[in-house]
């Protein structure tokens, strides 16, 4: 499948694929025995890329193969500057179907990140949902320095399992840096950054009601559930995000 024409929001490219297209992209990567990097972006990523982690702009533009819209903020930003609206692919909803697709095609999946009990529960819940899914996991609390002993041990575990797809959930921008530094050493066809997706898979984080997601107020719902952690992020970063959208338009 050809790469979809990308737009740029806040200096970050965003592809215009539909959810179903990611199945074809994975099938193609496996068939060609290639490595593809799938990063996701949201308003938080745009702010990071324009303030404290400016290397993300180059990484998303030059080193990621595909960039997924994972936030209503990106859709809002596209509207503000009159660009095509990308389809939102939210892991906490989308990946359940994607896991079933992986199971049907015999694709192995590896979950990397989060606390041990959380990522293990996430893997168990996903296996219960997607019959015959082959999934393994490892927590995210290890020395992620590229050549550290712990990092090598994790990579050896992943390679011994042999996944076609790996989800990395360390939070931004650690997960992006880790994927870029280690992808060549890992025998996998698709690398997806996934943020806090394992919390949702494990049932630790609550999915917003469908009507809240429909009006694109999931961010507010999550902020009400975790005001101390997310209040500052949303209330301070949202105006900055809008500023960066217009500055980079």
pLDDT digits (tens, 9 = 90+) for 23-72: 999 999 999 999 999 999 999 999 999 999 999 999 999 999 999 999 89
Contact (CB, 8 A) for 138 and 168 = no
Output 19-22 pairs: Cβ under 8 A, ≥24 positions apart.
Answer: 19/87, 19/89, 19/94, 19/97, 22/68, 22/89, 22/98
pLDDT of residue 220: 64
pLDDT of residue 97: 97
pLDDT of residue 88: 93
Helix (H) / strand (E) containing 12: strand 12-14
Contact (CB, 8 A) for 204 and 221 = no
**Nearest-10 crossing angle of helices 116-129, 91-104:** 60
pLDDT of residue 236: 84
């Amino acid at each position: 499948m050809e790469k979809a024409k990308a737009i740029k929001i806040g200096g970050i490219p965003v592809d215009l694929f539909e959810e179903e297209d990611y199945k074809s992209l994975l099938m193609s990567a496996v068939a060609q025995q290639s490595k593809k990097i799938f990063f996701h972006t949201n308003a938080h990523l745009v702010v990071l890329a324009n303030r404290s982690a400016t290397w993300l702009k180059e990484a998303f533009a030059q080193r990621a193969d595909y960039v997924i819209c994972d936030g209503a903020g990106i859709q809002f930003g596209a509207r503000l500057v009159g660009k095509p609206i990308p389809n939102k692919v939210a892991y906490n909803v989308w990946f359940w179907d994607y896991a079933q697709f992986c199971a049907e095609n015999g694709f192995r999946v590896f979950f990397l990140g989060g606390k041990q009990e959380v990522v293990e529960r996430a893997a168990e819940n996903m296996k219960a949902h997607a019959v015959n899914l082959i999934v393994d996991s490892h927590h995210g609390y290890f020395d992620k320095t590229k050549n550290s002993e712990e990092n090598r041990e994790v990579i050896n575990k992943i390679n011994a399992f042999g996944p076609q797809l790996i989800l990395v959930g360390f939070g931004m921008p650690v997960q992006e840096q880790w994927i870029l530094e280690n992808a060549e050493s890992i025998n996998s066809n698709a690398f997806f950054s996934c943020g806090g997706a394992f919390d949702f898979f494990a049932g630790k984080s609550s999915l917003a009601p469908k009507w809240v997601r429909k009006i694109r107020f999931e961010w507010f719902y999550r902020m009400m559930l975790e005001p101390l952690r997310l209040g500052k992020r949303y209330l301070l970063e949202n105006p900055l995000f809008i500023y960066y959208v217009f500055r980079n338009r």
